[in-house]
Amino acid sequence: METSTSKSPRAASPSRTQALRFWERDPWSARLVVVMIALLIFFAAVRPQAFFSGRTWTSMAVQFPEFGLMALGVMVTMFTAGIDLSVVAIANVTAICTALTLRAVLTPEVSATNSLMAVAIALGTALVVGIVCGAINGLLIAKLKIPAILATLGTLELFGGIAIVLTGGKPVSGVPKAYGAVFAAKIGGVVPMALIVFILCALVAGALLALTSFGKEILMLGTNETAARFSGMKISSLLVRTYVMSGVLAAMAGLVMLANYNSAKADYGATYTLLTVLIVVLGGVNPNGGKGRLLGVLLSILMLQVLSSGLNMFSGISNFYRPLIWGAVLLFVITVNEMNIRNPLERFLPGRNKS
């Protein structure tokens, strides 16, 4: 952020502030920040009691990690010009497997060692399920060359089907308390564990994307597959790793869902399939691959949660309007993005007179 990256020779104008530089470097994220601030101001002004209550904020922090983690998975696949529609099914399968394993291994009574074991078992199961499901997706896409939309549509049905077969379509309850004691806990009575899990996963994902060659390679694969192939990248292995990463993130979402609902069922979170795609596109990721930033996606996750929680403060607006709003936002964003309407404010920013 310290170095100016603008191509314009007049960019070095000393009067420019940090915020303006951020705007110029990443106008998409900057726009999201502006929209989010506007939303926050609006809700703070119209519904101050609800807005300033701690409960609103805690419940927001519990809710968004579920679909936020899935969205991070969809994001990495969209970097490669693919898509992962199976994240919700992977999350549900994970939650069900974790619940069943925990129930089989742990006895109901709670003890300190049990908590530790619960975490170990849960994380272990989630990793195994996430890696296996992601690898199946990746192999179908990389080896059989099935288009990602179709392959993950098929595995969405398949994993969902497995989840139903495992449970007979009924919810799995009776999750040992030791699990909830850790994953549904609030640290210091305020910060929910779900948020911690999300932040950790986002940090790991961010580090993978920014610091390893993996991050650069998947963007390059999304930009131009032929060029990527000729530059000596192992496309199949890269694709499998991408979908495994998506699967593991979805599996983490499954752990969060299991903690939030205290039960697991094959069709929890069915509406998240669209929501995750919406988040990722709204976050500035190009559905045709090759372009996008983690920051934008994180901002868009937060923005949608603010919008959703804000709507909850208005009892007059029925929940059924939510798909309408989400759909309209998605259409609006892709249209604006495509039309490349330049921000009207841009003209007034200094040092921005590119022809």
Residues 6+ apart with CB under 8 A from 15: 350
Interaction of residue 281 with another protein, rule CB under 8 A: yes
Residue with tokens 């841009």: 346
Taking contact as CB under 8 A, which single stretch among the options 99-107, 255-263, 281-289, 298-306 is the one that binds another protein? 281-289
Say whether residue 291 binds another protein (CB under 8 A): no
**135 is a site residue for another protein (CB under 8 A):** no
**Beta carbon of residue 173, minimum distance to another protein (angstroms, whole number):** 18
Retrieve residue 261's tokens: 């609902």
Determine the longest span between alpha carbons in the chain, in angstroms.
71
Residue 287: CB minimum distance to another protein, A: 5
154 binds another protein (CB under 8 A): yes
> What DSSP assignment string belongs to 224-247?
-HHHHHHTT--HHHHHHHHHHHHH
Nearer to another protein, 96 or 184 (CB): 96
Angle, alpha carbons 139-145-146 (nearest 5°): 90
Task: List the end-to-end C-alpha distance of the chain, in Å, as a whole number.
Answer: 25
Kindly state whether residue 328 participates in binding another protein, applying the rule CB under 8 A. yes
Give the Å distances, CA to CA, from 133 to 89, 130, 204: 10, 5, 20
Stretch of residues binding another protein (CB under 8 A), selected from 22-30, 112-120, 164-172, 209-217: 164-172
Q: Which is nearer to another protein, 140 or 253 (CB)?
A: 140
331 touching another protein, by CB under 8 A = yes
- Please tell me the distance from the alpha carbon of residue 93 to that of residue 111, in angstroms, as a whole number: 27
Q: Write out the residues near another protein by the rule CB under 8 A.
A: 83, 140, 144-147, 149-151, 153-162, 164-165, 168-169, 266, 274, 277-278, 281, 287-288, 318, 320-328, 330-331, 334-335, 337-338
